Amino acid sequence: MSCKPKSGESFESWFDRQGFENFTGGELASYFKRTRNTYPPKYMWTRFLPTMQIVQKVRTHFGKPVTISSSYRSPAYNAGVGGAKFSQHKEFRAADIQVKGVSPKRVRDYLLSLRRDGEFKGGVGRYNTFTHIDTRGTNATWG
């Protein structure tokens, strides 16, 4: 991976250089474009890489498409959608994901196994239609 953004580089180009097998910068940017959100500030971009490494492991493990329904949220957008005051989405360390044909409980259980195995430290939350993953550096579990 080539972490640092180049001068004048778009988010999409930077993300594509990171070499994720199943995800593109355009795919992630479509979330920023279709909502009343903004792109994350450039200084935050590298914060998302540890989360994406775990999301890629989820994709590889289940062998099925993964949709990222939420990643970075600007403070205003986070407030507008009722996000938590200290949401990791505002720090660009979180993703809400759905794995095609796999229940959020199964995804959560797999994420918890990765965390137990020391693959990451962060939050894992299960909701009715998606699973939350973040790499905040301390463990938290809900749902």
Q: pTM of the entire structure?
A: 0.95
Size (the chain), residues:
143
Residue 36 confidence (pLDDT): 85
Helix (H, G, I), strand (E, B) or coil at 126: strand
pLDDT tens digit sequence for 48-89:
999 999 999 999 999 999 999 999 999 999 999 999 999 999
Contacts 24+ apart (CB under 8 A), 110-114: 110/58, 110/61, 110/62, 111/54, 111/58, 112/141, 114/54, 114/57
The contacts of residue 127 (CB under 8 Å, 6+ apart) are: 96, 104, 143
Provide the phi-psi class of 118: left if phi over 0, else alpha when psi is between -120 and 50, else beta.
left
DSSP structure string for 45-79: GGGGHHHHHHHHHHHHHHTS-EEEEE----HHHHH
Please state, in angstroms and rounded to a whole number, the distance separating the CA atoms of residues 143 and 134: 14
The answer to whether residue 2 scores a pLDDT higher than 80 is: no
Residue 34 confidence (pLDDT): 87
pLDDT tens digit sequence for 6-19:
999 999 999 999 99
pLDDT tens digit sequence for 94-108:
999 999 999 999 999
**How much is the average pLDDT of 120-137?**
98
The answer to whether residue 1 scores a pLDDT higher than 90 is: no
Task: Let me know: does 71 contact 39? Beta carbons within 8 Å.
Answer: no
Residue 3 confidence (pLDDT): 86
